[in-house]
Amino acid sequence: MPQTQNTEKKLFGQILVDVGLVTAEQLEVALEEQKRHGGKIGFNLCRLGFVTTDKLTEFLEENFGVAVAYEPLSVRQKAADIIPRNLALYYKIAPIKLEGNTLTIGIAQIEHPNLIAALSEVTGHIIDPLLYPESEIRTLIDSSYKLPTERGVEVFSFADNVFTIVDNSKKIKPLAAAQLKNERDVGEWLRSIIAEAIKEKSREVLLKPDPDGASVSLKKDTFYLSEFSLPAGLYDDLTFLLLRLARMNPLELQKPQHSRFLVKIQERKIVMVVSAFPTIYGLRFLLEMFDERLLRRSFEEMTGPFPILKTSLEDFILRARQGMVIITGPEGSGRTSFLYSFFSRCKDEFKEILTLENAVRYPVSGLSQTQVDPDDMEEALENVIKQKPELVIVNAVRTVRSAELTFLITARMPLIAVMSSYDSFMAIDWLCRHGLKSAIKAGLLHTVISPRLIPLVCPQCSAPYEISPEEISLLSSLPDVLLKSNQGCDYCRHSDDQSSQMILECCRIDAEFISFLEGAPSASQLRKLAKNAGRKTLFDIALQQAVRGELDMQSVMKLQSF
């Protein structure tokens, strides 16, 4: 019998060799591994890295009609009692069924050679591994492990999931912080934390894991510690609850993720935007309660101090039937916040707005928002015109081909694009160096905007800024004022706790600026030409506010290094 079984495995392995999925040499290595450690030949080929689980399962389905099999939920949940949830998430394995002393698991990646032996030792059962695509593993984990709480949770197949804070008809209401000390239902903790944020008029909640559990901070002007502190065991449950509510991928715990769910207070629903970031102690969550009405107010507040910028954008919104506005800056510059506030103004004039976004940060009513993987952005841009929008918004343009496609689109309709660059001049320089200068000269680029968040002067630790000898000539024309810089304190030491002011550099691409492009000027040369023509750069704008005693001078000087 063993010989017959081995012959069957060799035959299957030979089929894989014949179709080119593995080589004959790889098959021999896998067969030797099978003799030493057991397991099916397909499992060993995947464990050795000779073929991926996705390719193998696709081959089986297409050629043998073998699809992924599901056991009933009750059977999988019984198996889930044997495998701890955190172990399943870490190793990307899913419980399938438990029969006698044999535990069948689904597995997508076999990166650990001793995984099966270790699982057998931990669970006390014989492990029978089956190969599943990673997407199926995620589905199985989501359904097999029960939510840490079910009270006030509504899970939907297509609409956003809902978490209820207050519902008198269902007798759901938050507990006071003192009542939570002996509470083990993590849903009650989340309900009380969100209720406290609403009570304190805080729109942001920060959950930071540490060796003993997690701290909870609320934000008004700055983040401050609340009286909530979660034990380690509860924070693990809270992490799983937030991942499920926001439909995040529990198998991607080492990557930042971004999603949302709805918070319900009686009949009112609020969008809760969830950002998860991995740390050595677990996922760090930022929860933002989003009210779309704030975007319009934010746009007016952002552009109010910059009349030239506001006039340029109003001209684009009201008159442009083609052309592009680019919003550019490095990560953390405020470019996404400015983009979404710009959405709110565009909605007044354009009825059909279509967005292509790497991550939909906020859902905005009246817009057709599409989440597009960065690798698929070029294909999405090639097809967007077929949808006949009045305005296209792209976040973000990362490749030369994507930039070329945005200019092709903007020859037919207005477009707003986000790019990663230091400032407006570097963005224009990049476009010119990649063969798009003629499109700019043709008038297809309307305006380039570069936002930047600069720390405000700290009221607790700011001190006079000492001008270095190298800076004397640069700052010699300043009036005799006291410049200040932050020294670092508990109030402003961390970026999370530091209030910032957004400044906006506006580069209107008019006839004068197009004349600057003659020859092949670098970004620094373009910046100098603009300054000589009376245009303000990021440094000029920030310095003006630093002179008024508003901005941290040390941060302002960093803008001059480019």
Question: Following DSSP, what letter does each residue of 509-552 receive, concatenated?
Answer: --HHHHHHTSS---HHHHHHHHHHTT---HHHHHHHHHHTT-B-
Can you give the pLDDT at residue 418? 97
* pTM to 2 decimal places: 0.69
Helix axes 186-199, 232-245, angle to 10 degrees: 80
Alpha carbon distance 489, 466 (integer Å): 19
The 3-state secondary structure of 232-262 reads HHHHHHHHHHHHHHCCCCCCCCCCCEEEEEE
Considering only CA atoms, which of 344, 328, 338, 346 is closest in space to residue 303?
Answer: 338
Under DSSP, the state recorded for 157 is S
Residue with tokens 């080492």: 254
Q: Which residues pair with 167 in a beta bridge?
A: 172
Alpha carbon distance 187, 185 (integer Å): 5
Considering only CA atoms, which of 63, 105, 100, 116 is closest in space to residue 83?
Answer: 105
What are the DSSP calls for 82-141, one per residue?
A: TS-HHHHHHHTEEEEEEETTEEEEEES----TTHHHHHHHHHSSEEEEEE--HHHHHHHH
Alpha carbon distance 259, 363 (integer Å): 10
Distances (CA, A) of 474 to 403, 426, 471, 525: 36, 22, 5, 17
Can you give the pLDDT at residue 65? 53
Q: What is the pLDDT of residues 148-198, one digit of tens each?
A: 878 899 988 778 899 999 999 999 999 988 888 778 889 999 999 999 999
Distances (CA, A) of 280 to 238, 283, 304, 378: 17, 8, 42, 35
Residue with tokens 């937030």: 242
Q: Are 226 and 193 in contact (CB under 8 A)?
A: yes
Q: Are 358 and 373 in contact (CB under 8 A)?
A: yes
Alpha carbon distance 80, 28 (integer Å): 35
324-328 and 462-464: which strand pairing? Answer: unpaired
Considering only CA atoms, which of 376, 379, 398 is closest in space to residue 328?
Answer: 398
- State both tokens at 291: 């009210």
Alpha carbon distance 454, 465 (integer Å): 16
Check: CATH 3.20.20.70 for 153-290?
Answer: no
Can you give the pLDDT at residue 365? 83
Alpha carbon distance 518, 515 (integer Å): 6
Can you give the pLDDT at residue 21? 87
Distances (CA, A) of 68 to 61, 75, 131: 8, 16, 9
- State both tokens at 151: 């009270």
Alpha carbon distance 456, 502 (integer Å): 10
Residue with tokens 């909870």: 216
- State both tokens at 508: 């209107």
Q: pLDDT under 50 in the chain at which residues?
A: 1-10, 494-498
Q: Which CATH class is domain 293-561?
A: alpha beta
Can you give the pLDDT at residue 355? 96
Stretch(es) of the chain classified as CATH 3.40.50.300:
293-561
Phi, psi of 147 (to 5 degrees): -60, 145
Stretch(es) of the chain classified as CATH 3.30.450.90:
153-290
Largest interatomic CA distance in the chain: 95
Considering only CA atoms, which of 131, 163, 132 is closest in space to residue 149?
Answer: 163
Type and span of the H or E element at 57:
helix 53-64
Alpha carbon distance 69, 62 (integer Å): 15
